[in-house]
Amino acid sequence: MTKMSGAEILVESLLKEGVRDMFGYQGGAVLPIFDVLVDKPINFILVRHEQGAAHAADGYARSTGKVGVCIATSGPGATNLVTGIATAYMDSVPIVALTGQVPTHMIGNDAFQEADIIGITRPITKHSYLVKDVKELARTVKEAFHIARTGRPGPVVIDLPKNVSTGETEYNYPEKVNIRSYNPTYLGHPMQIKRAAKAISKSKRPVIYAGGGIIISGASEELLKFSETTNIPVTTTLLGLGGFPGTHPLFLGMLGMHGTKYANLAITESDLIIAIGARFDDRITGKTSEFAPHAKIIHIDIDPSAISKNIQVDIPIVGDAKRVLQELNKIVTKCDISPWHRKINKWKREYPLTYKQNEKLKPQYVVEKIYEVTKGRAIITTEVGQNQMWAAQYYKYTRPRTLLSSGGLGTMGYGFPAAIGAQVGNPEAIVFDIAGDGSFQMNIQELATAVQFNLPVNVAILNNQYLGMVRQWQELFFNKRYAYTSLEVSPDFVKVAEAYGAVGIRVEKKEDVTPALKHAIQTKKPVILDFRVEKEENVFPMVPAGAALNQMIEGMA
């Protein structure tokens, strides 16, 4: 058998795992790998900052369901991936991050561009590997992809010393993975499933609370069938949007801090919550001691550590959401809950999502028009802050994997490189990054990436010249002391776009929004749309920090 270098083994192993697209940045410790990559059938996207590579791999993974792959050199290259790795970890996104490292005999000697990336990323990865022998490399890659994509997905780091990349050995890629300590539970316990079905049949005010696990497990069809069979309304988390059709009459919208009032009231008055692929995070529960005070809770999740972690549950079911729902769908029947539906429909009429219309351009209006022009068929990425919440509230997601957003970590600068990753993974799709003028500037350099690789990503900047969400909190809770949240000194985004070779469009009037969006979609080039929106518009409704879900601020007088 012919010997191969570690770099050749790595790339061949990636091909065997189905990798056809990668994101990353060159550097000394990974030179041998890039020298092999250039001749292989992998579409390599050269980003302009390593953080962009991690977010692009993340967006690729979320939008396609595949494992995203990124690569960076040792030291600062590797550390620049950290924010993206942490983002993926918090949101259970399967990525494999390849990092260069100094040669094994130099590790620990403070060599040039050395950083302990294993130590740095251990708390924010599902697993991590430092490959010390080229003979271990093929098995390591096989295990890394298996761990990243199975169970509750997450990021895996493979740290590659330069002498491992240049070393040689015989190549033998394993067919199977056998990790004794890692065996995720996919099938829910039959008795627990029967207990859940019995509780559902007896409930009078049930609510399905679905999280990102619905999308990760591919359980959207099963959730729809479950809801329609039982006649139980559905609310989702931010990352669960698209897991249940946003136009369905049983849909309550998003719950939580900036959720709909009727979703939060339904949770508060429910007598049974069926939580599926969700983790009861603080932005959902509000004041935990007052969360769903009258409800029994069924919790379905593949991660046993997530069950009763934040909220004590009554009927835990450890298993894959899709498989558990398939079993539940065999035994559940329609619930007699007509009074509950009448109450919820009354709330929907009384507390619709709305905003005050006037002559000024409103950010909510822009999001509504993006929905209309794309007919709800676009892939939407977001940055973090007000833009993120308006995208969640005013765009109706009818299919899974069409909203990509940093939920757990709340990473500003995520949306644009994630949109690039989504466009690479879905070349025929219309992709929009709904951005803030603050967040967009954090990875604005990726305009060069979008232009170089002819990626027709559209960026809709809701430009209010503030760090909008922070300013909103300052307005509501800090006596309007706008300390260091003004972004009045910002670039001309149209000129910046043109300088990079993209298209820039400024929009200041309502009547120009739709024509600008249509033009952007038809351009087939990267387009930056600078929407000059109302500067001090706020996101409502809002549950203040420490308040219960039914203590929402509905708007300003």
Co-location of 94 and 237 in the same domain: no
Dihedral angle over CA of 25, 31, 36, 41, nearest 10: 0
Residue 243 lies in a domain: yes
Per 3-state DSSP, what percentage of the chain is helix, strand, and coil (rounded to 5)? 40, 15, 40
Q: Of 350, 383, 408, which marks where a domain is finished? A: 350
Query: What is the Cα–Cα distance from 115 to 380, expressed in whole angstroms?
Result: 35
Host domain of residue 25: 3-170
- Per DSSP, what are the bridge partners of residue 527? 458, 503
Q: How distant is the alpha carbon of residue 428 from its chain centre? A: 21
Residue 381 lies in a domain: yes
Co-location of 125 and 85 in the same domain: yes
Phi, psi of 68 (to 5 degrees): -85, 145
Residue 297 lies in a domain: yes
Q: From the candidates 26, 113, 192, 452, give the one annotated as an active-site residue.
A: 113
Q: How many CA atoms lie within 13 A of 50 on its CB side?
A: 21
Residue 539 lies in a domain: no
50 is annotated as an active-site residue: yes
Residue 170 parent element (H or E): strand 168-170
- DSSP symbols for 120-166: HHGGGSSEEEE--SGGGHHHHHHHHHHHHHSSS---EEEEEEHHHHH
Question: CB of 427 within 8 A of CB of 502?
Answer: no
Question: CB of 409 within 8 A of CB of 123?
Answer: no
113 is annotated as an active-site residue: yes
If one counts every other C-beta atom within 10 angstroms of the C-beta of residue 307, the result is 20
Q: Of 108, 138, 170, which marks where a domain is finished? A: 170
Residue 179 lies in a domain: no
Q: How distant is the alpha carbon of residue 318 from its chain centre? A: 23
3-class DSSP assignment, residue 49: coil
Contacts of 519 (CB under 8 A, 6+ apart): 505
Query: What is the Cα–Cα distance from 404 to 418, expressed in whole angstroms?
Result: 7
Query: What is the Cα–Cα distance from 25 to 33, expressed in whole angstroms?
Result: 11
Structural tokens at position 14: 């990636």
Co-location of 342 and 374 in the same domain: no
Residue 17 parent element (H or E): none
Co-location of 201 and 144 in the same domain: no
Co-location of 47 and 99 in the same domain: yes
Question: CB of 261 within 8 A of CB of 347?
Answer: yes
Quick one: pLDDT at residue 2? 80
Co-location of 523 and 404 in the same domain: yes
Residue 310 parent element (H or E): none
Question: CB of 156 within 8 A of CB of 128?
Answer: yes
CATH number where 218 lies: 3.40.50.1220
Residue 376 lies in a domain: yes
CA distances from 344 to 205, 238, 264, 267, 297 (A): 10, 21, 11, 11, 19
Co-location of 298 and 381 in the same domain: no
Co-location of 139 and 224 in the same domain: no
Co-location of 338 and 265 in the same domain: yes
Structural tokens at position 48: 């302009």
Query: What is the Cα–Cα distance from 361 to 356, expressed in whole angstroms?
Result: 11
Residue 184 lies in a domain: no
Query: What is the Cα–Cα distance from 252 to 264, expressed in whole angstroms?
Result: 9
Residue 183 lies in a domain: no
Q: From the candidates 66, 126, 142, 162, give the one annotated as an active-site residue.
A: 162
Question: CB of 350 within 8 A of CB of 524?
Answer: no
The total of structural domains in the chain comes to 3
Phi, psi of 53 (to 5 degrees): -65, -45
Q: Of 298, 323, 350, which marks where a domain is finished? A: 350
Q: How distant is the alpha carbon of residue 123 from its chain centre? A: 19
Q: From the candidates 3, 112, 194, 554, give the one annotated as an active-site residue.
A: 112
Contacts of 396 (CB under 8 A, 6+ apart): 246, 247, 371, 376
Query: What is the Cα–Cα distance from 22 to 37, expressed in whole angstroms?
Result: 10
Q: From the candidates 469, 472, 531, 540, give the one annotated as an active-site residue.
A: 469
Co-location of 204 and 310 in the same domain: yes
Q: At what angle do helices 468-477 and 386-394 cross, to 10 degrees?
A: 100
Co-location of 408 and 444 in the same domain: yes
In the block, tokens 């990352």 appear at 239
Co-location of 148 and 264 in the same domain: no
3-class DSSP assignment, residue 107: coil
CATH number where 67 lies: 3.40.50.970
Pairing of strands 127-130, 206-210: unpaired
Question: CB of 13 within 8 A of CB of 39?
Answer: no
CA distances from 419 to 25, 43, 73 (A): 18, 17, 23
Q: From the candidates 50, 143, 446, 537, give the one annotated as an active-site residue.
A: 50
What is the chain's pLDDT, residue by residue, as a tens digit (557 residues)?
689 999 999 999 999 999 999 999 999 999 999 999 999 999 999 999 999 999 999 999 999 999 999 999 999 999 999 999 999 999 999 999 999 999 999 999 999 999 999 999 999 999 999 999 999 999 999 999 999 999 999 999 999 999 999 999 999 999 999 899 999 999 999 999 999 999 999 999 999 999 999 999 999 999 999 999 999 999 999 999 999 999 999 999 999 999 999 999 999 999 999 999 999 999 999 999 999 999 999 999 999 999 999 999 999 999 999 999 999 999 999 999 999 999 999 999 999 999 998 999 999 999 999 999 999 999 999 999 999 999 999 999 999 999 999 999 999 999 999 999 999 999 999 999 999 999 999 999 999 999 999 999 999 999 999 999 999 999 999 999 999 999 999 999 999 999 999 999 999 999 999 999 999 999 999 999 999 999 999 999 999 999 999 999 988 65
162 is annotated as an active-site residue: yes
Query: What is the Cα–Cα distance from 135 to 140, expressed in whole angstroms?
Result: 10
Q: How far apart are the first and last CA of the chain?
A: 77
